[in-house]
Amino acid sequence: MHRPVADPKPVVWTIASSDSGGGAGIQADLHTFNALGCHGCSVIAAITAQNSTDVLSTEAVSPAIFIAQLNCLLNDLPPKAIKIGLIPDVQLLQQLVLWLAEHKAKHRFSVIADPVLSSSTGVNFASEQLISNWQQLLPLLDLITPNLPELALLSGMPDAPVASQALLLTQAGAAAVLAKGGHNPDSTDITDCYISDSASFGLTQPRITTANNHGTGCVLSSAIAVACAHGYPLHDALIVGRAYLQQALAQGYPTGKGAGCLQHHSWPIDYRYFPKLHGPGTIPEPLLRFASMAAPIGLYPIVDSVQWLKRLLPLEPDVIQLRIKLGSASEIEQQVAQAVQLSNDYKLRLFINDHWQLAIKYGAYGVHLGQQDLNEADLPAIAAAGLRLGISTHSYAELLRARQLGPSYIALGHIFATQTKQMPSRPQGLQRLVHYAALCRDIPTVAIGGIDMLRLQAVVNCGVDGVAVVSAITAQTDPEHAFVQLKNQFQQYKVESRYAHNA
Ligand SMILES: Cc1ncc(COP(=O)(O)OP(=O)(O)O)c(N)n1
Ligand SMILES: Cc1nc(C(=O)O)sc1CCOP(=O)(O)O
Ligand SMILES: [Mg+2]
């Protein structure tokens, strides 16, 4: 008998200590790995006798068994990512620095470290020597996630602004720092501050006031490590980590007499749990209102000339886009003017790609803009003119930025490899499409990139409202026939997928 071959689960390690109370440490890390679809392995540095109120005692393992765990796992279960947590022993931390220096480059795993220098129950694990060892670890880390007291200990500049302290850790070798703002008692929101060589931004969420908060740092760093192991870029891993933590906190439960635990659940898809991004090109909340799409998007052909519009408009596309990349300014203007006139004649919804001034001037139904285009466009003018706005996205970070602008639809790309355009990002694939579409339940979505008749049903089943295609129509020997087939199949798959969801 043949069994279906499942995709292998990425392997993630936690190098940390046991929390006998089950809410933090190795125990919380393994729950997080499992809930987010990874296989967890553990390298135990110490055993703590701990309950919900106190850490009563801590005993580190011997260096021999510490190294034996690392080496035996590396031989058989090499990690895609490693999370480092509490290592309350100078000798073990020194061993770890040497071990990572020897193996990290060759095995190319990500290392995310939560420098647990004190427990939430008030126990201080930090000695001068331990802090100095953490400083030696910095150049081996892809990300370090200190809270504010830990950041102060590691930077040695407790009175400097958070961003300056975080910058100091990057100058000492950490590839990136997420300074967690939860210990700032004055705010109803929590803002974490991210700094790397190439970027800095903030992630803000409402503070969840709860006594069930034991292990938050462990869970956040573990969730970030998992998202890295699944291949998400670090920016997106931070977003997934924050959303997972917020969801787990919102559903936390009491245990003993002290702090309760977080509820481990599943991949976060509820927009409520996702952070707001602050940084260049972002606004925290929609300040503009773009007109809505009025009717579902459906099959969405993208063409590069008025000639193509003349061929397809009589076939009544649900929505269509004119995407011109070549020609002089006056040629482009002429094409846009004719295209809008044609779309009015057929009473069909036409989006103009990139050329938002011309779209406003000639009164198109909408404008489609990419992330780069957004930096140059006058969004208030587009909204004031009553045009719809579609925005391209290729990651969680871009998706949150787009959502915060309140557009009429969000494009999710590129799902599969495409020959039509050079893409700087990797294909997203269907699993990510499911997550992105679920995060946009209240706003129409369009999948784009490498979609053809064979892939249409799988894409529709991911829950998108529309599917945008270029070559599946324009590169076919009979484009009109291809369009009609795609449109009909789209409708049929949509009905079937709705039926399947309701069954
Ligand atoms: C529906 C839809 N999705 C994505 C794009 C791509 O827009 P952008 O990222 O601005 O890239 P260019 O199309 O300008 O090359 C799109 N046009 N339409
Ligand atoms: C124009 C464009 N934008 C993309 C994005 O992901 O933003 S993918 C893409 C090309 C889509 O062409 P085809 O259907 O031939 O693969
Ligand atoms: Mg563009």
Verify whether ligand 1 is closer than 6 Å to residue 421 (CB atom). Answer: yes
**pLDDT value of residue 122:** 55
Q: Where are the beta strands (DSSP E) in 263-408?
A: 276-278, 298-303, 319-322, 349-353, 366-369, 388-393
Q: How far is the CA of 402 from the centre of ligand 1 (A)?
A: 13
Give the sign of the dihedral formed by CA 294, CA 399, CA 438, CA 427. Answer: positive
- Return the residue whose CA atom lies nearest to atom 17 of ligand 1: 353
**pLDDT value of residue 93:** 96
Residues with CB under 6 A from ligand 2: 392, 394, 413-414, 418, 420-421, 448-451, 469-472
User: Is 419 labelled as part of a ligand binding site?
Assistant: yes
The architecture (CATH level 2) of 298-502 comes to Alpha-Beta Barrel (3.20)
Q: How far is the CA of 76 from the centre of ligand 3 (A)?
A: 46
Whether the CB-CB separation of 261 and 51 falls below 8 Å is answered with no
Q: How far is the CA of 424 from the centre of ligand 3 (A)?
A: 13
CATH of 11-278, picked from 3.40.50.300, 3.40.50.2300, 3.40.1190.20, 3.40.50.11750, is: 3.40.1190.20
State which ligand 1 atom lies nearest to the alpha carbon of 421: 15
Q: What is the ipTM of this complex?
A: 0.97
- Return the residue whose CA atom lies nearest to atom 4 of ligand 1: 392
Distance of alpha carbon 136 from the chain centroid? 29
User: Is 184 labelled as part of a ligand binding site?
Assistant: no
Q: What is the CA radius of gyration of the chain?
A: 26
Verify whether ligand 1 is closer than 6 Å to residue 353 (CB atom). Answer: yes
- Return the residue whose CA atom lies nearest to atom 16 of ligand 2: 450
What pLDDT tens digit does each residue of the chain (503 aa) get?
445 566 789 999 999 999 999 999 999 999 999 999 999 999 999 999 998 898 899 999 999 999 999 999 999 999 999 999 999 999 999 999 999 999 999 999 999 999 988 655 555 667 889 999 999 999 999 999 999 999 999 999 999 999 999 999 999 999 999 999 988 776 789 999 999 988 899 999 999 999 998 999 999 999 999 999 999 999 999 999 999 999 999 999 999 999 999 999 999 999 999 999 998 767 666 678 899 999 999 999 999 999 999 999 999 999 999 999 999 999 999 999 999 999 999 999 999 999 999 999 999 999 999 999 999 999 999 999 999 999 999 999 999 999 999 999 999 999 999 999 999 999 999 999 999 999 999 999 999 999 999 999 999 999 999 999 999 999 999 999 999 999 999 999 988 887 776 65
Q: How far is the CA of 332 from the centre of ligand 3 (A)?
A: 14
Residues in contact with 88: Cβ distance below 8 Å, sequence separation at least 6, in sequence order: 17, 45, 46, 58, 60, 125, 130
Helix (H) or strand (E) holding 415: none
**pLDDT value of residue 1:** 43
Tell me, yes or no, if the two domains 11-278 and 298-502 fold the same way: no
Domain locations in the chain as residue ranges: 11-278, 298-502
**pLDDT value of residue 121:** 55
Nearest partner of 220 among 196, 200, 203, 198, judged by Cα = 203
